[in-house]
């Protein structure tokens, strides 16, 4: 089955891309924090911290205090995942969208499939 975003409204694609980028940036911060301290001088770590701190602070009231601090961005990313997986299909009137729940990842997967299928 060919993945196509042509039938999705533009606002859905833009909203999913924004939410997906936020979610993956939060996950990236957790992954980088495994290898680097939070206040590292490494450029990418500073960027991850700078752009994700406001989002993490926004979710502060719903973040349990028992969570280990390095895992808090992963907890916040989980909210973005849930919103993308459950709210987006509901807003579009679908009961199940499958892979179409994630247009960002679907498009990336399609591009990777094209790249690797041409190498055979």
Residue 37, judged by CB atoms within 10 A of its CB (0-12, 13-18, 19+), counts as exposed
The rounded distance, in Å, linking the Cα atoms of 29 and 26 is 5
Residue 3 has a pLDDT of 47
pLDDT of 85 reads 79
- Per-residue pLDDT, averaged over 13-20, amounts to 86
Tell me if residue 38 falls in helix, strand or coil.
coil
Once rounded to an integer, what is the mean pLDDT over residues 55-64? 95
pLDDT(26) > 70: yes
Average pLDDT value over all residues in the chain: 83
Q: How confident is the model at residue 24 (pLDDT cuts 50, 70, 90)?
A: very high
Tokens of 114: 């094209």
Q: pLDDT tens digits for 64-119?
A: 999 999 999 999 999 998 888 777 777 766 655 555 567 777 777 778 888 888 76
| Least confident span in 31-35, 45-49, 110-114 | 110-114
Report d(CA 37, CA 58) in Å as an integer. Answer: 22
Can you give the pLDDT at residue 103?
Answer: 72
pLDDT number for residue 119: 65
Mean pLDDT of 18-29: 93
């Amino acid at each position: 089955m060919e993945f196509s975003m042509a039938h999705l409204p533009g606002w859905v694609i833009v909203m999913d891309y924004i939410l997906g980028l936020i979610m993956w940036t939060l996950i990236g911060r957790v992954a980088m924090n495994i290898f680097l301290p939070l206040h590292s001088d490494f450029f990418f770590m500073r960027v991850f911290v700078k752009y994700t701190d406001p989002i993490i602070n926004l979710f502060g009231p719903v973040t349990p205090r028992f969570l280990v601090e390095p895992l808090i961005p992963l907890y916040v990313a989980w909210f973005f995942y849930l919103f993308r997986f459950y709210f987006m299909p509901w807003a579009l009137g679908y009961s199940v969208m499958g892979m179409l729940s994630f247009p960002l990842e679907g498009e990336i997967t399609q591009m990777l499939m094209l790249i690797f299928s041409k190498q055979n």
